[in-house]
């Protein structure tokens, strides 16, 4: 399935990728869970997140915090308090700093708490998405505060697409754990 462009596809893709992510997490071995993420040997992995996230908790918290961004952004703007999606002082060019802020904030959060938080925020995001019509989600210009995009594209980004990102990262980690353990 391509990137969702309807409410039904959004909800289906978000739930399907969330279930795939949880299946992948459930299949992680104790060694995979206890081995810190280290992608430093792969020159293709240049983005900041490859260095930032050191374990499953970090990934789950990242997803959770982006859910919170969406929930807060929609709520504020629906109540007439115009807010950008990325909170000040960050913007789309500097949001790596915001991601580090999230990472730092949750270094004492347990993996179990991270799982619970993500489960709850996933449900909240899908519940919120379900309150909008297909037109409200996927027609441009419906909400001035969304800018030139669609509201649905934000929901897709923080759910289905972000879950894909998390699965790719976990799969990359799984591939190198045996290599790490032989060093």
Decide: 39 and 176 in contact? Cβ < 8 Å: yes
pLDDT at 12 over 60: yes
| Cα–Cα distance, 150 to 129 (Å, whole number) | 12
Whether the model pTM is above 0.75? yes
Per-residue pLDDT of 14-64, as tens digits, reads 999 999 999 999 999 999 999 999 998 888 888 888 999 999 999 999 999
Terminal Cα-to-Cα distance of the chain (whole angstroms): 40
User: The domain 7-182: what is its CATH number?
Assistant: 1.20.120.450
Look at 18-22, 38-42, 73-77, 147-151 and tell me which has the smallest mean pLDDT.
38-42
pLDDT at 162 over 50: yes
Per-residue pLDDT of 91-138, as tens digits, reads 999 999 999 999 999 999 999 999 999 999 999 999 999 999 999 999
Domain boundaries, the chain: 7-182
For 133: left if phi > 0, alpha if psi spans -120 to 50, otherwise beta; the answer is beta
Three-class secondary structure assignment of the chain: CCCCCCHHHHHHHHHHHHHHHHHHHHCCCHHHHHCCCCCCCCCCCCCHHHHHCCCHHHHHHHHHHHHHHHHHHHHHHHCCCCCCCCCCCCCCCCHHHHHHHHHHHCCCCCHHHHHHHHHHHHHHHHHHHHCCCHHHHHCCCCCHHHCCCCHHHHHHHHHHHHHHHHHHHHHHHHHHHHHHHHC
Q: Which is higher by pLDDT, 74 or 1?
A: 74
């Amino acid at each position: 399935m391509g990137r969702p462009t309807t409410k039904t596809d959004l909800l289906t893709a978000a739930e399907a990728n969330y279930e795939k992510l949880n299946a992948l997490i459930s299949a992680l071995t104790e060694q995979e869970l206890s081995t810190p993420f280290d992608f430093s040997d792969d020159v293709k992995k240049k983005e900041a997140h490859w260095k930032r996230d050191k374990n499953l908790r970090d990934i789950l918290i990242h997803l959770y915090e982006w859910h919170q961004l969406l929930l807060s952004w929609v709520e504020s703007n629906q109540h007439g308090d115009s807010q950008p999606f990325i909170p000040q002082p960050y913007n789309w060019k500097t949001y790596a700093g915001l991601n580090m802020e999230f990472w730092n904030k949750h270094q004492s959060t347990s993996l179990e708490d991270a799982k619970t938080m993500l489960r709850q925020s996933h449900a909240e995001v899908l519940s919120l998405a379900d309150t909008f019509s297909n037109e409200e989600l996927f027609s441009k210009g419906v909400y001035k505060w969304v800018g030139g995009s669609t509201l649905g594209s934000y929901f897709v980004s923080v759910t289905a697409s972000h879950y894909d990102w998390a699965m790719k990262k976990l799969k990359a980690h799984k591939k190198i754990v045996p290599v790490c353990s032989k060093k």
